[in-house]
Amino acid sequence: MPDQIVGLGARFYRVMESQRDWAQGIDFSGISDVTVFNGAVVALLRRSPELLVLSPNGALVRKISLRDVVLGHGIRALGADLMAVTDVDGHQVLLLDAEFNECHRLHCGNRPALGRPFNHPTDCARDEHGRIFVTDGYGNSQLHVFNPDFTHSHSIGGAGAGEGQFTTPHAVAVLHDGRIAVADRENNRVQIFGANGDYLSSITGLHKPMALEVMGDKLLVTDQTPRLSIYDRDGVLIGRCRTFATYGHGGAVAEDGSIFIANMGPDGLTKLEPLPL
């Protein structure tokens, strides 16, 4: 069949679907999120839960079972030395080193509570100072901030639709300049905060935003339309295309500019391969 091409900002991308165009023979049933970690494409599956580690061309390198994880939700590379897996129903964040060995867990002793970490957390990010941000998520409506030594610093937000409040904070990303973006899913917006947690602005015109990814000084957002949108540093929409499943639940950007989307309904891993300029 002819190539499917989408436009996003100033770039065009070839749509490569798993099983058809790449990553053939790999079962992505139950996929929840994807990240790029030291050059490898790492998909998080809810069903076991487990990680699938792929080469950039879609070959399966290894499978990794996640010990004592109930339901994997989010996965994000926090740098070359650290990767986070957010366990939404285990109320914890599993931190893995570059060899995929567990090095720490942020947790509540499996005693979730309203107003403190954790109560069904969804995603995790880290800034250049080593602070860790966790969206918490389905039970709480907060963004928790942890110090570089993994101690809890403070929490931002609460339930509601006002500025700085959340209804299902679903994803978090640290922007190129240190600002914090939070996908406030059921309020149909992305909220932007300063590095110190002060509310700055909101990106609206979205339908239940799901995943956030930073690409240079730009922000990628999936939503349940379903579509992928790209915004400039000022939150201005500069490109938009359709995604090819019911939900683009997670996303990642590779060093070569490829964009990966963890699709749910039907489950699969889409690769948007940038075409030459």
C-alpha count within 13 angstroms, C-beta hemisphere, residue 99 = 2
DSSP 8-state code for residue 186: G
Place of tokens 């900002």: 9
- The whole-model pTM stands at 0.97
In the predicted structure, residue 268 carries a pLDDT above the cut 80: yes
pLDDT beyond 80 at 123: yes
Place of tokens 């030459």: 276
The alpha carbon dihedral of 124, 204, 43, 32 has a sign of positive
Q: What is the per-residue pLDDT for 13?
A: 98
Determine the average pLDDT of the residues in 118-126.
Answer: 98
Helix, strand, coil percentages for the chain (3-state, nearest 5): 0, 55, 45
Instruction: State the DSSP H helix or E strand holding residue 182, giving kind and residue range, or none if neither.
Output: strand 180-184
Q: What is the CA radius of gyration of the chain?
A: 17
Q: Write down the pLDDT at residue 47.
A: 83
- For residues 38 and 244, give the distance between their C-alpha atoms in angstroms, rounded to a whole number: 27
- In the prediction, which pLDDT does 87 show? 98
Would you state the structure tokens that stand for residue 28, as one six-digit string? Answer: 């992505």
Cα(25)–Cα(131) distance, integer angstroms: 39
Hey, where are the domains in the chain? 64-247
List of residues 6+ apart from 92 with CB closer than 8 A: 69, 86, 105, 106, 107, 108, 110, 118, 121
Model confidence at 1: pLDDT above 80? no
Report the pLDDT value the prediction gives residue 73, as an integer from 0 to 100: 98
Query: What is residue 277's predicted lDDT score, i.e. its pLDDT?
Result: 85
Average pLDDT of the chain, as a whole number:
97
pLDDT at 225 over 80: yes
Average of per-residue pLDDT across 156-160: 97
Cα 270 from Cα 254, distance rounded (Å):
13
Q: What is the pLDDT of residue 40?
A: 98
What mean pLDDT do residues 72-93 have?
A: 98
Q: Which pLDDT band holds residue 250 (cuts at 50, 70, 90)?
A: very high
Q: How many helices (H) and strands (E) in the chain?
A: 0, 25
Tell me the pLDDT band of 2, cut-offs 50, 70 and 90.
Answer: confident
pLDDT exceeds 90 at position 158: yes
Q: What is the pLDDT at residue 191?
A: 98
SS3 185: helix
Q: How crowded is residue 24: how many other Cβ atoms within 10 Å of its Cβ?
A: 10
Q: pLDDT tens digits for 28-71?
A: 999 999 999 999 999 999 988 999 999 999 999 999 999 999 99
Each residue of 85-95: pLDDT tens digit? 999 999 999 99
Average pLDDT (85-114) is 98
Superfamily of domain 64-247: TolB, C-terminal domain (2.120.10.30)
